Amino acid sequence: MKRLFNIQILFSAFLLIFCGAAFGLSEAYKGNIYNPGILKPTDSILKVKVGDPAPDFTLPSIAGEKISLGQFTGKKNVVISFVPAAWTPVCSDQWPGYNIAKGFFDKNDAVLLGITVDNIPTLHAWTQQMGKLWFSVLSDFWPHGAVAARYGVLRSDGVSERALFVIDKKGIIQFIHVGDINVRPKLEELVVELEKVHKK
């Protein structure tokens, strides 16, 4: 039992030490980013698979609208980007990157929906630091993480995975990426999948 305790202490120390590691964070956030350290890469079990109809949802956006996945059926391909939490290292850079990648989405007739489990005021303050975003940012705060849970990307601590879903105009899931929460997905991988869906 004592041995197990010692190992737990060491493991905690390991996490604390690695909390200091940076991720190429932007000066834009200065000291406002909370660094949770290195987290368990994934911590959920997917409830959907490629070929399934994407579960519909309606969520509030930071622009004050209600956005439903279903409103894009027959009109646009959809990319859903779940990021774990506002004011954390990797998430704070991922969407600003997408903010200068609009051309790839337009070219492939796609919209982007960014979702976190944070509430609207938090998302408002956080995204203000990113500049003006061209895509919708939705809050899956209440019932807490219900959409993330429906897709099977809600982690045991109540935040979502870092996940991407590409959904075609028929509302069918064509690509799923649930990556290591500590690592930002490469832009080119999403672009390749968008092009595949657009060509179908």
| Residue 152 Cβ vs other proteins, minimum distance, rounded to whole Å | 27
Minimal distance, residue 175 CB to other proteins, in Å: 17
Interacting residues toward other proteins by CB under 8 A: 3, 6-7, 10, 13-14, 17-18, 20-28, 93-94, 96-97, 99-101, 129-131, 184, 186-188, 191
What is the end-to-end Cα distance of the chain in Å, rounded?
58
B/e letters for 157-191, b = 16+ CB within 10 Å, e = fewer, are: eebbbbbbbbbbbebbbbbbbbbebbebbeeeebb
Q: Where is 197: in which H helix or E strand?
A: helix 187-199
Catalytic residue positions?
A: 91
Q: Name the minimum Å distance from CB 159 to other proteins.
A: 20
| CA-based R_g, the chain, Å | 17
Which of residues 18 and 142 has its CB atom nearest to other proteins in the complex? Answer: 18
Between residues 130 and 163, which has the closer beta carbon with respect to other proteins? 130
